[in-house]
């Protein structure tokens, strides 16, 4: 005789979103290391004396106790591990936090994404302690694409698979990577990509984080990196990513540290 599945279970989770439900309840979208993304119900969270209030805001890393429900599991207890308060107090980092949460939401469906839990947690911690913002966010974007099967081709032509020098590369957002000079007429909607931009993206994709985080990124270069990556993330997701547009409106100038220069 098979053992009955437990009706109550505990898990760590990162809250990636929430929306109104019925009465004083909300649907909380969480990412867990075992199940991945799931919607759960927080009953009574809008009541003044709710024990759940304050523990289930987007971007919160928490311990949860849930009861198995007929359609959606019900959050019984929630205890904050970290709210990443430093990020909450800095507009650029807060906007970036919202952006990475939206990426996870857009690139997963219920029951998937468990392998994104640890990369997301590491990214939120790096944001909170003030590490190189460009390396943190673009490194996460590229890792997310890798994990979800959308790794962009930054070294070989997407059409003929030949190795491409950064000086001779063109960019295909729809193709998901670079295009060589011989294939540029065969691939629609290509555009130029500056050699330095491609070199930095290659570093973010293949170097250890500790090395890529030392690259010096000025505001112009960051604008080009963000334009390429935001377009790519939207193209692969096949939907709009609203926080990407907001992120582009916020200045990176004060967030870019000095470090290694890529020429």
Q: Are residues 62 and 184 in the same domain?
A: no
Q: Are residues 39 and 140 in the same domain?
A: no
Q: How do residues 62-93 score in pLDDT, each as one tens digit?
A: 999 999 988 999 999 999 999 999 999 999 99
- The CA distance from 78 to 123, in Å, is 22
Nearest in space to 28 (alpha carbons), one of 69, 92, 70, 73: 73
Q: How do residues 47-70 score in pLDDT, each as one tens digit?
A: 888 899 889 999 999 999 999 988
CATH number for the domain spanning 140: value is 1.20.1440.120
Whether residue 255 has pLDDT greater than 60: no
Domain end marker among 33, 59, 82: 82
Domain end marker among 26, 60, 82: 82
Whether residue 179 has pLDDT greater than 90: yes
Q: Is residue 263 part of a domain?
A: no
Long-range contact set of residues 232-241: C-beta below 8 Å, sequence gap at least 24: 232/141, 232/145, 232/152, 232/173, 232/176, 233/103, 233/141, 233/145, 235/173, 235/174, 235/176, 236/107, 236/145, 236/150, 236/176, 237/103, 237/106, 237/107, 239/106, 241/99, 241/102, 241/103, 241/106
Q: Are residues 90 and 126 in the same domain?
A: yes
| Residue 42 belongs to domain spanning | 8-82
In this prediction, residues 124-149 reach a mean pLDDT of: 97
Q: Are residues 95 and 54 in the same domain?
A: no
Q: Are residues 217 and 145 in the same domain?
A: yes
Q: Are residues 93 and 138 in the same domain?
A: yes
Residue in the structure block whose two tokens are 């000086």:
167
In this prediction, residues 31-39 reach a mean pLDDT of: 97
Sign of CA dihedral 247, 251, 254, 260: positive
Residue 151, pLDDT score: 97
Whether residue 157 has pLDDT greater than 90: yes
Q: Are residues 37 and 109 in the same domain?
A: no
> pTM value?
0.90
Q: Is residue 154 part of a domain?
A: yes
Q: Are residues 179 and 97 in the same domain?
A: yes
Q: Are residues 94 and 46 in the same domain?
A: no
Domain end marker among 82, 106, 138: 82
In this prediction, residues 172-182 reach a mean pLDDT of: 96
Q: How do residues 209-230 score in pLDDT, each as one tens digit?
A: 999 999 999 989 999 999 999 9
Q: Are residues 127 and 244 in the same domain?
A: yes
Other beta carbons within 10 angstroms of residue 81's beta carbon come to 13
Q: Are residues 50 and 134 in the same domain?
A: no
Q: Are residues 139 and 199 in the same domain?
A: yes
Structure tokens at 36: 């991945």
- How many domains are there within the chain? 2
Contact 150, 73 (CB under 8 A): no
Q: What percent of the chain has pLDDT over 90?
A: 83
Q: Is residue 2 part of a domain?
A: no
- The CA distance from 165 to 146, in Å, is 22
What separation, in Å, do the N-terminal and C-terminal C-alpha atoms of the chain show? 67
Residue 145, pLDDT score: 98
Residue 193, pLDDT score: 97
Whether residue 261 has pLDDT greater than 60: no
Comparing 2-16, 134-148, 169-183, which segment has the lowest mean pLDDT?
Answer: 2-16
Whether residue 235 has pLDDT greater than 60: yes
Residue 253, pLDDT score: 47
Q: Is residue 262 part of a domain?
A: no
Provide the pLDDT confidence category of residue 1 given band limits of 50, 70 and 90. Answer: very low
Residue 250, pLDDT score: 80
Structure tokens at 241: 């990513």
Structure tokens at 208: 């250890």
């Amino acid at each position: 005789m098979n053992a009955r599945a437990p009706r109550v279970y505990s898990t760590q989770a990162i809250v990636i979103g929430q929306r109104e439900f019925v009465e004083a309840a909300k649907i909380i979208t969480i990412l867990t290391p075992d199940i991945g993304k799931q919607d759960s119900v927080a009953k009574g969270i809008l009541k003044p004396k709710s024990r759940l209030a304050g523990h289930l805001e987007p971007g919160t890393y928490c311990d949860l106790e849930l009861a198995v429900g007929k359609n959606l599991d019900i959050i019984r207890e929630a205890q904050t591990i970290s709210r990443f308060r430093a990020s909450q107090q800095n507009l650029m980092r807060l906007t970036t936090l919202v952006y990475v949460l939206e990426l996870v939401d857009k690139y997963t469906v219920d029951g998937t994404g468990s392998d994104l839990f640890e990369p997301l947690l590491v990214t939120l911690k790096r944001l909170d302690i003030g590490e190189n913002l460009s390396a943190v966010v673009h490194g996460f974007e590229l890792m997310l694409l890798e994990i979800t099967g959308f790794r962009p081709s930054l070294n070989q032509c997407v059409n003929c698979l030949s190795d491409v020098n950064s000086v001779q590369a063109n960019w295909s957002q729809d193709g998901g990577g670079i295009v060589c000079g011989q294939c540029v007429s065969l691939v629609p909607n290509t555009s130029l990509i500056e050699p330095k931009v491609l070199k930095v993206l290659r570093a973010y994709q293949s170097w250890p984080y500790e090395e890529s985080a030392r690259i010096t990124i000025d505001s112009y270069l960051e604008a080009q990196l963000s334009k390429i990556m935001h377009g790519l993330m939207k193209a692969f997701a096949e939907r709009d990513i609203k926080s990407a547009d907001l992120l582009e409106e916020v200045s990176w100038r004060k967030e870019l540290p000095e470090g290694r220069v890529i020429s």
